[in-house]
Amino acid sequence: MRLQDKKVIALVDKDFEDLEHWYPVYRLCEEGAQVDLVGPKANETYYGKYGVPAVTDYAFADIHAADYDAILIPGGWAPDTLRRYPEVLQMVQHMDKEKKPIGHICHAGWVLVSADVLKGKTVTSTPGIKDDMINAGATWVDEPALVDGHIISSRRPPDLPDYLRLFIDTLAT
């Protein structure tokens, strides 16, 4: 188990992309990581775009990013609300400053845009937010998944196997 003793924040809010949340959570658990579901409220049920529920372990205010080794941000419509929480932006900024893995897929790039951590980075995302990523200072490429330092990005659900291989490899080192 390559990720034993690793702790990961998995952000959730209403209308997350079900596969982009659950596939990474399960893969990380398979590798031995502790994955905590973190949202606006603790012990709250949030539903994905396709109705799959996720019950949060903690609220944003209940955790300290310094206690974690990485953060995962799902796509869907959740990133548009996640980026409005100062606590989420602070978590992402902390992970960036400490060079800890930040995983984002599809529309999740919006959170990194709002956290202002993309200047000089090469990333991918859904093509729908390509301009946002570029305007935030990133170089955008149309690839299934890629790593630039500690930032791991991916485009969409069919790219999840590539995304998780890269995320797990980055977190394991």
Which of the residues are catalytic?
107
Report d(CA 156, CA 149) in Å as an integer: 21
Closest CA to 77 of 37, 112, 110, 42: 110
DSSP string, 35-93: EEEEESSTT-EEE-TTS-EEE-SEEGGG--GGG-SEEEE--BSHHHHHTT-HHHHHHHH
**The total number of residues written for the chain in this structure:** 173
